[in-house]
């Protein structure tokens, strides 16, 4: 068995978690740029974009490794809701408002891969179309079975879901498709698309961000019980091991005795 995931716990989100998340993301960025000159990252919705923005929009220290090279970023959505890109439920709108719109206009901008609004009425067609986008970006060069994201950034729901992969849902057993559709999401809105579990597990690195006391019961369950290891977040931990890092605050990890670390430095 490989090494277990990393669980980082910080007392303060702004002063500690965000700078450590920045260091982690930029390490993945710098390695990816060395490997292939582009940084391919998948991002979820929920509270993640706000925390990510705190990390990435902070003033740079001036050191070479601490530069966010947005012009070399290709941003994808780990999951997206089947709503217009301007709808308040859209993950893209959220990422735009929290992060993209705040990147100084004079800086070169990242390339963002959104879902195609022409498929709003058919989640399966939207998923197929998004998968085609991934194929055109990833497979053309690598001719791979699975797309290799340099980093996948995820949240953890109170029921242990991640992306739009929900506990006990048949989508968890999908092994072929890269992008799946769901029409009965227990978290509204019901119609969504999501990366599949094999795509998530294949990521070069997988980072979770989970903060606040509302996460403490589910984190304890995921890290410390058999039942929790079968929840979507637990399956990512089990399947991807040391490639996974959790960025949490102490409110979220209260009561979790799984080995914790205080800093990525």
Ligand X SMILES: O=C(O)[C@H](O)[C@@H](O)[C@H](O)[C@H](O)COP(=O)(O)O
106 CB-near residues (< 8 Å, 6+ apart): none
Q: What track of x and - describes contact with ligand X for positions 90 through 119 (by CB under 6 A)?
A: -x----------------------------
Indicate which single residue of 5, 10, 21, 46 sits in contact with ligand X (rule: CB under 6 A).
Answer: 46
Sheet holding 79-81, edge to edge: 79-81, 192-195, 179-182
Smallest gap, in angstroms, from Cβ of residue 254 to ligand X? 16
**Minimum distance from CB of 64 to ligand X (Å)?**
32
187 near ligand X (CB under 6 A): yes
- For residue 163, state whether it binds ligand X (rule: CB under 6 A): yes
Q: Is 48 an interacting residue with respect to ligand X (CB under 6 A)?
A: yes
Is there binding between residue 207 and ligand X (CB under 6 A)?
no
Residue span binding ligand X (CB under 6 A) among the ranges 5-13, 23-31, 157-165, 219-227:
157-165
Q: Minimum distance from CB of 245 to ligand X (Å)? A: 16
Indicate whether 232 belongs to the interface with ligand X (CB under 6 A). no
Residues lying near ligand X in the complex (CB under 6 A) = 44-48, 79, 91, 155-157, 161-163, 187
């Amino acid at each position: 068995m490989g090494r277990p995931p990393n669980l980082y716990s910080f007392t303060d989100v702004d002063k500690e978690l965000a700078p450590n998340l920045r260091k982690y993301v930029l390490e993945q960025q710098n390695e990816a740029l060395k490997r292939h000159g582009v940084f391919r990252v998948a991002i979820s919705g929920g509270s993640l974009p706000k925390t990510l923005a705190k990390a990435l929009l902070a003033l740079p220290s001036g050191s070479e490794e601490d530069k966010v090279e947005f012009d070399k970023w290709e941003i994808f959505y780990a999951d997206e809701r089947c709503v217009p890109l301007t709808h308040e439920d859209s993950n893209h709108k959220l990422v735009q408002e929290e992060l993209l719109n705040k990147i100084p206009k004079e800086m070169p901008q990242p390339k963002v891969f959104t879902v195609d609004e022409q498929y709003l009425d058919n989640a399966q067609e939207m998923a197929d179309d998004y998968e085609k986008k991934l194929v055109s970006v990833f497979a053309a060069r690598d001719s791979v079975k699975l797309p290799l994201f340099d980093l996948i950034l995820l949240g953890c729901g109170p029921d242990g879901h991640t992306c739009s992969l929900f506990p006990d849902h048949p989508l968890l057993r999908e092994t072929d498709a890269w992008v799946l559709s769901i029409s009965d999401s227990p978290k509204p809105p019901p119609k969504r698309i999501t990366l599949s579990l094999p795509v998530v597990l294949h990521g070069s690195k997988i980072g979770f961000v989970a903060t606040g006391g509302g996460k403490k019961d589910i984190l304890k369950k995921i890290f410390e019980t058999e039942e929790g290891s079968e929840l979507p977040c637990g399956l990512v931990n089990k399947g991807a091991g040391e490639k996974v890092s959790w960025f949490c605050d102490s409110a979220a990890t209260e009561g979790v005795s799984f080995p914790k670390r205080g800093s990525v430095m």
